Amino acid sequence: MANSERVKVRIPATAKKGEIIEIKTQVSHDMESGQRRDADGKPIPRRIITKFTCSWNDEPVISADWHQAVSANPFTSFFALASASGQIKLTWWDEGGEVYDYTHSIVVE
Using the rule CB under 8 A, is 87 a contact of other proteins?
Answer: no
Cβ distance to other proteins smaller for residue 83 or 85: 83
Tell me if residue 26 falls in helix, strand or coil: strand
What's the one-letter identity of residue 74?
Answer: P
| Among residues 7, 11, 27, 56, the one that binds other proteins under rule CB under 8 A | 56
Burial class (CB in 10 A: 0-12, 13-18, 19+), 29: buried
We find the least distance from the C-beta atom of residue 27 to other proteins, in angstroms, to be 11
Contact by Cβ (8 Å): 82, 106 = yes
Long-range contacts (CB closer than 8 Å, 24 or more residues apart) made by 59-63: 59/83, 61/88
Backbone phi and psi for residue 87, each to the nearest 5 degrees, phi listed first: -115, 130
Using the rule CB under 8 A, is 84 a contact of other proteins?
Answer: no
Using the rule CB under 8 A, is 81 a contact of other proteins?
Answer: yes
| Among residues 1, 13, 71, 97, the one that binds other proteins under rule CB under 8 A | 71
The interface region with other proteins, picked from 5-13, 76-84, 90-98, 99-107 by CB under 8 A, is 76-84
What is the contact surface with other proteins in residues (CB under 8 A)?
20-21, 33, 35-37, 44, 56, 59-72, 74-81, 83
